[in-house]
Amino acid sequence: MADNPQGTPGPPTTIVLFGATGDLSRRKLLPGMLHLWRSGLLPEMQVVGTSLDEHTRESFVDFAREAIGEFSDDEQDKDEFEEFAKRLFWANDGVDNLKAGIEEAEADCEKPQARLHYLSVPPKAALSVVDTLDKAGLVKNSRIVMEKPFGTDLASAKSLNDSIHKVFKEEQIFRIDHFLGKEPALNILALRFANGLFEPIWHRNHIDHIQIDIPETLGVEGRAAFYEGTGAYRDMVVTHLFQVLAFIAMEPPTALDPISISEEKHKVFRSMLPLDPHDVVRGQYDGYRAEEGVDPQSDTETFIALKCFVDNWRWADVPFYLRTGKKLAEGQRIISIAFREPPKSMFPEGSGIGDHGPDHLTFDLADTAKMSLSFYGKRPGPGFGLNKLSMQFAMEDTGWAGSILEAYERLILEAVKGNRTLFTTAEGVERLWEISEPLLEHMPPVRNYPQGSWGPNQIHQLIAPFAWRLPFERKWRAN
């Protein structure tokens, strides 16, 4: 990131958006591109939309207008849409149509345009798009953004990488993980490496265990065909939760640049022990098999919780607990660092010491960018009663709240700039599938759980003698 400070505008760029009429494009990508243009971060951007759907430039602009109206929450962005619409172009499917659409978009550009190809397409279509770009001569001096999943096991990940590398160099490929684009995820690096307070205790001597907990209230929501062949582990853990784990566990990089950070993340992945199937709980919410497009005998997990270890000097024997699933009690995205308790208590029985578990540092990965630190303090009054206290911080409480970029906005901007810090690599992807092999070969049974619960009861045995941080014993402070 050092070469591209936040706030530095990106270069003149043509973004070729494959799958431009899809759900992700409607909800995130088109609103995000509008905001990047309107805020001056990508002031010289052209967008060429393309998909299997037949459109004209005018109908694509209408599609984008409706998407912005429904999903953008920035009134200034909405007010500027008609000006932004002049930068929207369309190319119907096919090599010749794609070349013509890009030529039209760049015809009046005064400066040479960099090109970013964003593949918002199903996994099976990605290689077809790569082949189209190759045939169209649109590979040189361009970059490509790819959405998960990056394979379904080690063999498929290697095959996918080999196929893409025949066309694109690794440094041209940006494998996106929107969790790493979130402000709180980046704040982990700031908290650890910009302060003298936390890094000295950021290791096994002071940290008891770590939880990364991403429950969702939604179901498969029309994605049954994709989800049936994927499941919660492949969909969320390999592509998202392990990437967040690397930010937590990595050693200090020599610099905040893509190469240095990627190397430290790779060291974490290389240090991770292969997953033990006995340390995994798989679940499926009641009613999943009745969803349209789901096999009535489906063994696909909609929930997974697991324990894993990073076997190095910093983290040896410290368990990392990961949990995610569909149709759960709450939609949350938290990282919770549980610190070790004092070796001996000098407080009298009944004082309250230990009643509420260990001290925690908690990151909320929602866009509001919250952090809290909980600890014991004396309860006012006679005697020496103790209560759990909490110091909390929310980015929206500061004067910088308006500067927060949505995750996809940040990642698009960094990809345009060529900054690969927040993107994973072929090496990292393949190593994560390698440690997954024991689990994928011997999957534990799927256990049913009620919709609106926290998952199968076996999750409590998995984390014992600890307890899951969610649901919170106390809520975030009201703003």
Residues carrying an active site annotation: 240
As a whole number of Å, the CA-based R_g of the chain is 24
Least Cα distance to 134 among 159, 103, 166, 106 occurs for: 166
Give the single-character DSSP code of 237: I
d(CA 169, CA 215): 36
DSSP string computed for 280-317: EEEEEETTGGGSTT--TT----SEEEEEEEB-STTTTT
Angle of the 30-38 helix axis to the 57-71 helix axis, nearest 10:
80
Contacts of 67 (CB under 8 A, 6+ apart): 25, 26, 27, 30, 31
Question: Residue 443: what residue type?
Answer: M
- C-alpha 341, offset from chain centre: 31
d(CA 456, CA 446): 9
HEC readout, 350-382: CCCCCCCCCCEEEEECCCCCEEEEEEEEECCCC
- CA distance between the termini of the chain: 32
Tokens 């994605």 locate to 223
